Chains A and B, each alone.
Chain A
Amino acid sequence: MDAEAVLLERLQKGDEGALAELYESLSSNVYALALQLLRSREEAEEVLQDTFLKLYRNPHGFRAERGSARAFVYTVARNACLSRLRAKRARPHKADDLDVHDPDASFGATSAHPSMSVEVRQALAQLEPVDQQLLGEAFFSGYSHGELAARFDMPLGTVKSRVRRALLSLQQFLEKA
């Protein structure tokens, strides 16, 4: 059992200290994910806050047979972001005033997992260019497969197959790395 799963298990038993440890461990990644999708510091902070409050209120949603604890936490956050995007019924434009890669931005720490970023970049590079694009827009911009089919003028079934294949290929590559 990974460390975050142990923390979720403690949280399920009412150990509030586990929430602080979970926040310490994952908040930077959750915040980065929310910033990426929402392009708004204020909204990203709200999602971060909502995510950990929901974990506190309902830690029993985690089931190890469906994925890791980190996947569970990131899914809670991602779905909160996607709900906001759907509510706005508009794809966010790239913010002019926010660049998470800008070293001068006052966001504090840089990547805690630089090696992971390299590995993922290498894994993505193994994919066909169109699969890279589809996966990138699906994951980093939150486009649905239907939206991707329209944007890429591609049959929906093809988009579904390609994104699924790309994610599975990515996992295989990372497993071997």
Chain B
Amino acid sequence: MNRVRDNLAEYVLGTLEPSERDEVEVHLARSEDARAEVRRLRESFVALTESLPSVAPRAEVWSNIQAQLATERLPTDSEQAFDAHPSVTVFRPRTWPSRASQLSWQLAACFCLIAVGSLFWGFQNYRAYQETAGEALLVAAFLAEPQVQKVTLQGPDNQGLGGVLLEPKGRALFVLNQAPGWGRAYQAWGHTSDDWEPGSSEQLISLEVSQDPVFAVATQEFAALYLSLEPAQGSPQPTQPLSRISLGEPAPTTPLEITSPTEGANLASDSVIVSGSVGDGVTDLSYTLNGGTPIRTSVAANRFTFTVTGLQKGANTIEVTAAVDDQQVTDTVTVTFTSSGTND
């Protein structure tokens, strides 16, 4: 570990190669001695910085900062609107959005969901996003948590969006591949169930509007996080959904379990997102709707998510089947589609 220790000074000075910085950050997460040395090295770093004759910047710089901040603030009425709904608020069901929008979200749900597990994301993937020390420290802080989960995100067209670090203390760090672009922002949302869809009668809770590709949100009260792309000031509800993240349970002890929707759920649309978990060793599975043709779907890191469309009015039975150790295991859930009813 001497090699890593010898890199602590250059880590503080900011000139390490990315792979070496990764090594140092992993070491720092494990070693209090190393963290103590970094604190000492940073004291010298501060002293050297402050040994330079300080130079007052032109007043225009602060004016520019204020002007930029003014463009980034959420409108006051939106803030008040969010503050007024600290918990999920249920409204009358509204009509579904356009078919294209609906399909977009369903594809996102199908493809982008969850791939939990440290094997899916090497440290170097994070490094590419760490433009600033603040972001680097933020990522390192999450990586330092022993129970942190790493979740990859894919968008509606199956493109890689980046990932999320989930901390058991109830925080999540979005680490996205790229900035949202001029005049745009990422918006993170929370909800108390992981089967929310555009057009649902329930409203998502806005957690963060960020023009940076790395940002943290609190997750304690939610069952799922959602990510969308919005105008720079954010939106009251998602307009361009990108992905969702179930803050689900750990891998089950049972070989197959449907966790959403709940048994007997009443649905206001003819489609539903089904998610759940499977035991180790299951790589794919299939599902049927009302005993119809089996449709294969994939499993990632002991979890699955797919969208079932074409629900009939009334009761519908969805059966999920997986092969485990040469044995077929199944789980079923029955939901009711009531076209003019209310969500449960």
Residues of A within 8 A of B (CB): 16, 19-20, 23, 27-29, 31-33, 35-36, 44-45, 48-49, 52-63, 65-68, 70-72, 74-76, 78-80, 82-83, 100-101, 107-113, 116-117, 119-121, 123, 135, 138-140, 142-145, 157, 160-161, 163-164, 167-168, 170-171, 174-175
With both beta carbons as reference points, the residue of chain A lying nearest to B134 in the complex is identified as A61
Name the residue in B5, B14, B58, B62 with the highest tally of chain A Cβ atoms < 10 Å from its Cβ.
B14
Within 8 A of A (CB), among B185-216: 210-212, 214-216
A130 to B: closest C-beta gap in Å = 15
Asked whether A68 lies within 8 Å of B132 as measured between CB atoms, the reply is no
Tell me the B1-57 residues at the A interface (CB within 8 Å).
5-10, 12-16, 28, 35, 37-57
Give B contacts to A, CB under 8 Å: 5-10, 12-16, 28, 35, 37-58, 60-62, 64-65, 68-69, 72, 131-138, 141, 210-212, 214-216
What are the residues of chain A within 8 A of B69 when measuring CB–CB? Answer: 16, 19, 53, 56
A55→B69 CA distance, assembly (Å): 11
In the complex, the answer to whether A54 meets B15 with C-beta atoms within 8 Å is no
Given known contacts A67-B39, A70-B46, A120-B48, A28 and B137 CB-to-CB distance under 8 angstroms:
no
**In-complex Cβ contact of A168 among B35, B41, B54 (8 A):** B41
| A74 pairs with B47, CB closer than 8 A | no
Residues of A within 8 A of B7 (CB): 160
The 4 closest A-B pairs by CB, nearest first: A61-B134, A108-B56, A67-B42, A28-B54
Cβ contact of A54, chosen from B40, B51, B132, cutoff 8 A: B132
Q: Using a Cβ cutoff of 8 Å, how many contacts connect chains A and B? A: 214
* In the bound complex, CA of A109 to CA of B54 (Å): 7
Contact A27/B15 with A66-B137, A120-B48, A174-B44 known, Cβ cut-off 8 Å: no
Report whether over half of chain A's contact residues are helix, strand or loop; otherwise say mixed. helix
CB proximity of B123 to chain A, nearest CB, Å: 17
A32 touches B54 (CB 8 A): yes
Point out the residue from A58, A112, A116, A138 that lies within 8 Å of B214, measured CB to CB: A58
Whether the pair B54, A79 counts as a contact (CB closer than 8 A) is no
Question: Which residue of B has the minimal Cβ distance to A85?
Answer: B15
Q: Is the CB of B9 within 8 A of A68?
A: no
Q: Please, how many angstroms separate the alpha-carbon atoms of A149 and B70 in the complex?
A: 46
Contact A31 B55 (CB under 8 A): yes
Pick 8 A–B contacts, CB within 8 A, sort by A.
A58-B138, A68-B42, A75-B42, A75-B133, A107-B55, A145-B15, A164-B41, A170-B47
Whether the pair B53, A76 counts as a contact (CB closer than 8 A) is no
Q: How far is the CA of A124 from the CA of B214 in the complex (A)?
A: 38
Are B53 and A61 touching (Cβ within 8 A)?
no
Query: A74-B46, A144-B15 are known contacts. Are A117 and B134 too (CB-CB below 8 A)?
Result: no
Contact A61 B138 (CB under 8 A): yes
Cβ contacts under 8 Å, B9 to chain A: 160, 163-164, 167
Q: Tell me the minimal C-beta distance from A115 to chain B in angstroms.
A: 10
